[in-house]
C-alpha cells in the first residue's frame, strides 16, 4: 500500500485556510489530495517520497516532459531581462509568427493566459463578427468554465434530453444556458438539422475535434469534413477547441492531422509545455474585430504575452514544429493500445483503449465510445480497480473513468515497458 501520510497531514492542516486543500476542484480526490514535491521528465515525486511514472502530465500541457532543459533555459535567460512591462516585446510577436507557420487556420494571432480566457475572447469575437448571440457546443465537451461554455459537460441522463435534440444543462450553479445550443458528437446528420434550424441565431459552433474530456474519443471518418461543410452552408463560423489536442497528433494539431481548417482555433496547454499561455488564432477578418484602433471588441489582459510564458512557448514550438515529437507519441500510443487490447483479450475482459498523439484512455466496455451518451456503457467499478492497481504499481493514473491520460516525449522505452507491465497486473486484478 502506497504511504500518503504526509499528504494527509498537509490536507488536514490546509482545510483550515483554503477550500479542501486545492486551488482547482479538478485536483481534489478522495479521501484527500496528493501533494507533489518535484517533477522531472516522465517522473513525479510526492511529499511522502513516492515516485511515479506520470500519465496525468498536468492535465495535458507537458508534451515534452517535466522540466525540459531547452524550455527552462529559455525561461531562465528571460528572467534576467524582465518578466512583464507595460510595453509589447518582440518575443511575443515571434511566438505569434511561429504559430502562423504551424497552425493551418492561423492567419492572425492574439495571446492570452488560459484556455478559458482564450475561449471567452473567441466567443466575443464571434458574436461581434456575426452580430448573432447564440453559441453551439458539443455535448460532453469541456470548453472552459465560462458562463456560456460550462454547459452539458457531463449532464445527468435524466436531464440531458433526447439524443437527437440535447438539452443545455448547466454544470454548476450560477450559470445561464439560454444562449447555448447543444449538439451530439460524431453525428453529422443531427448536427445538420440543429444548425440549419438555428443558423440565423448562431454566432459559432465550438467543437473539440478530438474529444479529450470524455477520455479520448476520435472523430469518425469524414465527420469533421461534414461539420465544416455544414457550417459553411449555414454561414456559421467553425471554432476548433484545440486546448487539449493542439500540437498532439501533428505540429498543426488535429486540423492538420484530419485536413479540416476551421475559422478560428483556441490553443493552450502544450503551447508552452506547462507555462500559462493560450492563443486565439484564425481568419484575420474575425481576429481583427479586436483591433485596438477600429475594432469592436476589447482584448485585454495584464499578463497577455508575459515574457516567461512566451519564452517557454518559443522554445516549445521549436521542438514541436519538426514533427518528430508527434511521430514518437503517435507510435507509442499505437503500441500501448495494441498491448492493452492483447492483455484484455488474454484475460477475457471486455475493455478497449482509445487514443492518439500521446493521449489515451481505457474504457471497460465492449462498445466503441463515440460520444457522450456511449460513455454510459463503461463499467466504472472496473476502471476504479484498474486505476488503484496502476497507482500501487507506480503509475500515476487519475481516479476518473473519463479522464484523458497521456505520455510525453520524455517517456522512454523503459517507462512504457513499466506502464505495460502495470496494465497487465491491473487487468489481472480486474478479472478477479
> CATH number of the domain that 413 lies in?
3.90.1150.10
Residue with cell 501533428: 250
- Is 432 tagged catalytic? no
Do both 90 and 41 map to the same domain?
Answer: no
Measure CA 358 to chain center: 12
Q: What is the pLDDT of residue 176?
A: 85
Does residue 40 lie in a domain region? yes
Q: What is the pLDDT of residue 1?
A: 66
Q: What is the pLDDT of residue 185?
A: 99
Q: What is the pLDDT of residue 232?
A: 99
Domain count, the chain: 2
Phi (first) and psi of residue 6, to 5 degrees:
-70, -40
Q: Cβ neighbours of residue 404 under 8 Å, at least 6 residues apart?
A: 60, 212, 213, 215, 216, 244, 359, 360, 361
Q: What is the pLDDT of residue 20?
A: 94
Q: Cβ neighbours of residue 420 under 8 Å, at least 6 residues apart?
A: 336, 339
Nearest to 280 by CA among 317, 241, 249, 247: 241
Last residue of a domain, one of 320, 341, 365: 320
Q: Which of 11, 52, 142, 153 is catalytic?
A: 142
Does residue 23 lie in a domain region? no
Does residue 52 lie in a domain region? yes
Nearest to 270 by CA among 290, 253, 282, 286: 253
Do both 53 and 80 map to the same domain?
Answer: no
Do both 311 and 292 map to the same domain?
Answer: yes
Phi (first) and psi of residue 282, to 5 degrees:
170, -160
Q: Which of 98, 134, 137, 269 is catalytic?
A: 269
Does residue 15 lie in a domain region? no
Last residue of a domain, one of 320, 347, 365: 320
Q: Which of 46, 148, 241, 263 is catalytic?
A: 241
Last residue of a domain, one of 320, 351, 383: 320
- Positions in the chain short of pLDDT 50: none
Do both 231 and 328 map to the same domain?
Answer: no
- Is 142 tagged catalytic? yes
Considering the entire predicted model, what is its pTM? 0.96
Q: Cβ neighbours of residue 171 under 8 Å, at least 6 residues apart?
A: 150, 151, 152, 153, 154, 155
Do both 290 and 339 map to the same domain?
Answer: no
Q: What is the pLDDT of residue 85?
A: 86
Do both 273 and 368 map to the same domain?
Answer: no
Show the domain range for 44: 35-67+323-431
Does residue 17 lie in a domain region? no
Do both 187 and 264 map to the same domain?
Answer: yes
* pLDDT (tens digit per residue) in 182-240: 999 999 999 999 999 999 999 999 999 999 999 999 999 999 999 999 999 999 999 99
Do both 246 and 216 map to the same domain?
Answer: yes
Do both 276 and 382 map to the same domain?
Answer: no
- Is 269 tagged catalytic? yes
Do both 292 and 370 map to the same domain?
Answer: no
d(CA 221, CA 354): 15
Does residue 115 lie in a domain region? yes
Does residue 4 lie in a domain region? no
d(CA 56, CA 99): 26
Do both 133 and 274 map to the same domain?
Answer: yes
Does residue 416 lie in a domain region? yes
Do both 104 and 249 map to the same domain?
Answer: yes
d(CA 169, CA 178): 10
Amino acid at each position: 500500500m502506497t504511504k500518503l501520510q504526509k499528504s494527509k497531514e498537509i490536507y488536514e492542516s490546509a482545510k483550515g485556510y483554503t477550500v479542501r486543500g486545492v486551488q482547482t476542484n479538478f485536483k481534489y480526490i478522495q479521501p484527500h489530495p496528493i501533494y507533489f514535491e518535484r517533477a522531472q521528465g516522465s517522473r513525479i515525486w510526492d511529499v511522502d517520497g513516492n515516485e511515479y511514472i506520470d500519465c496525468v502530465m498536468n492535465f495535458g500541457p507537458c508534451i515534452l516532459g517535466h522540466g525540459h532543459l531547452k524550455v527552462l533555459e529559455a525561461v531562465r535567460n528571460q528572467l534576467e531581462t524582465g518578466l512583464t512591462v507595460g510595453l509589447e516585446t518582440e518575443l511575443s510577436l515571434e511566438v505569434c509568427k511561429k504559430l502562423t507557420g504551424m497552425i493551418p487556420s492561423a492567419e492572425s494571432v492574439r495571446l492570452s493566459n488560459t484556455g478559458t480566457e482564450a475561449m471567452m475572447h473567441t466567443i466575443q469575437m464571434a458574436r461581434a463578427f456575426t452580430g448573432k448571440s447564440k453559441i453551439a457546443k458539443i455535448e460532453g465537451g469541456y470548453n472552459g468554465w465560462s458562463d456560456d461554455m460550462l454547459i452539458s459537460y457531463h449532464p445527468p441522463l435524466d436531464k440531458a434530453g433526447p439524443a437527437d435534440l440535447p438539452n443545455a444543462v448547466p454544470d454548476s450553479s450560477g450559470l445561464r444556458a439560454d444562449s447555448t445550443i447543444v449538439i451530439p458528437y460524431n453525428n453529422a446528420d443531427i448536427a445538420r438539422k440543429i444548425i440549419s434550424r438555428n443558423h440565423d441565431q448562431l454566432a459559432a459552433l465550438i467543437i473539440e475535434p478530438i474529444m479529450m474530456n470524455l477520455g479520448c474519443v476520435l472523430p469518425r471518418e469524414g465527420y469533421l469534413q461534414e461539420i465544416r461543410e455544414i457550417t459553411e452552408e449555414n454561414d456559421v463560423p467553425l471554432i476548433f477547441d484545440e486546448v487539449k489536442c493542439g500540437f498532439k497528433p501533428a505540429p498543426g494539431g488535429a486540423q492538420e492531422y484530419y485536413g479540416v481548417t476551421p475559422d478560428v482555433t483556441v490553443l493552450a496547454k502544450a503551447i508552452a509545455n506547462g507555462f500559462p499561455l493560450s492563443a486565439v488564432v484564425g481568419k484575420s477578418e474575425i481576429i481583427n474585430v479586436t483591433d485596438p484602433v477600429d475594432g469592436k471588441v476589447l482584448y485585454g489582459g495584464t499578463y497577455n504575452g508575459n515574457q516567461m510564458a512566451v519564452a517557454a512557448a518559443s522554445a516549445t514550438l521549436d521542438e514541436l514544429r519538426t514533427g518528430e515529437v508527434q511521430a514518437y507519441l503517435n507510435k507509442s500510443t499505437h503500441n500501448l493500445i495494441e498491448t492493452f487490447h492483447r492483455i484484455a483479450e488474454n484475460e477475457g475482459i471486455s475493455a478497449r483503449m482509445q487514443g492518439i498523439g500521446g493521449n489515451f484512455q481505457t474504457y471497460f466496455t465492449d462498445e466503441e465510445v463515440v460520444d457522450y451518451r456511449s460513455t454510459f456503457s463503461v463499467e466504472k467499478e472496473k476502471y476504479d480497480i484498474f486505476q488503484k492497481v496502476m497507482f500501487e504499481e507506480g503509475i500515476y493514473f487519475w481516479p476518473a473513468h473519463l479522464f484523458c491520460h497521456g505520455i510525453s516525449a520524455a517517456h522512454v522505452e523503459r517507462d512504457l515497458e513499466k506502464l505495460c507491465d502495470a496494465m497487465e497486473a491491473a487487468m489481472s486484478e480486474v478479472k478477479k
